[in-house]
Structure 1
Amino acid sequence: MMESDYRKKTADLAAQRRELERRQSEFENARAQAEAQLEELAKEVLIKAQESGVPKSAQEDEVLRELRANPIANALYTKIESLTAKVNELDSLNRSLRDNLKQRDQNALVSQHQRVLAYLKQNDPELDTDALVRFARENYVPRLDLAYRLYTEDKRMKRTVDEAVAKAKKEAMDEAKRLAVQPTIPLRRAVATPPKDAPKTFDEAIEVAMKDPEVIGPLVGAGT
């Protein structure tokens, strides 16, 4: 049954129940009025019996005898019996409707839970649905979607941590691979380039040295 049809049927049953309760209340009020009238008649008969000197032990029987002979009392008796039968009949119908509504609510709740479980199972194939239902009952969680979040909290936390660790490892491996394939150029010592006027032969070097005061000076000083 579609949800809209279910709601309409449930609303109709609820309306019928309210109508039965209204009628039952009317019959109960009418019965109460009839009983009150009969009680007033009984009081009048009792007062007459007392005033007539009827012994106390016989007063109850006298009241009953007088009421049976009283047409108004008989009519009230009949009315009370009829109203009582109607009240009982409506009460039975009311209980039947109440049970019907309760059963419909239970069926709707079961159907809703089944849909939620199917959805959760579709998104989490490893889910133990029986264990989830037990968890919800034991922890008084009325909604299975909320129970699922509580039930799988540790699992979801572990999955989040595992995903973060796996991501970090992958990034580290990618960086290591990148460095491994990148060519490494060794550093070379820089070689000084001689000036353009530097001597090109050994003899030229001696000649330049003999003219350099810093070179020849110490040699001359050593000879003297």
Structure 2
Amino acid sequence: MRGLYALKPWYTRRLGAVLRAAVRHGVSPDVFTLLGVLAAAAAAVAIALGWWVPALLLLAARLAGANLDGAVARARGLSRPWGFVLNELGDRVGDLLMFGGLAVLAVREPATLLVAGPLTGSAWVLLAALAATAPTFASLAAAGAGGRRLNGGPFGKTERCAAVVVATALPAWIPVVAALVVVGSLLTAALRLARTRTDLAAGGPG
């Protein structure tokens, strides 16, 4: 199940003019990694203020940066281990910024759903931010063992961005959305690990 990740080729085609211009002018893929992080930082501010429309647009820009760094590298024939490292760091920083903004919103507009004892809205966001790292750890572990670096859903980066936009628009539902992120992220990590185990048992990445 690839989730919204299946839309990545379509989204990249929509960015074709930017891609061609970047290749023509020799723009480094790292520029788009940085732009993605900056868009995530701006989105975090919009999320903290409860401005869901700017948050939607800025998170779309974050995803555009994440798409273009790899697309530009492939189009220019670049294969750099350090570029891989920067890409992964950019994704993780982008997630932390996004959830940080949501945590601030949870404090500004306390929710009552699924809130009991220490499980405040901001605590749910923290749990979601931690769980959101699980799919990436599963994929990196697979790559380190010689398997494929798996991406996509059922609850990957694109779904996380969509969930945060919904939570920004409906702050009262932040704990519910955060719980969805937790469950979806753990499920995604489990499915990636299961696929990796199958691939490695078959003798390769498949």
TM-score (norm 2): 0.26
Q: TM-score, normalised by structure 1?
A: 0.24
Structure number, greater radius of gyration: 1
More helix by share: 1
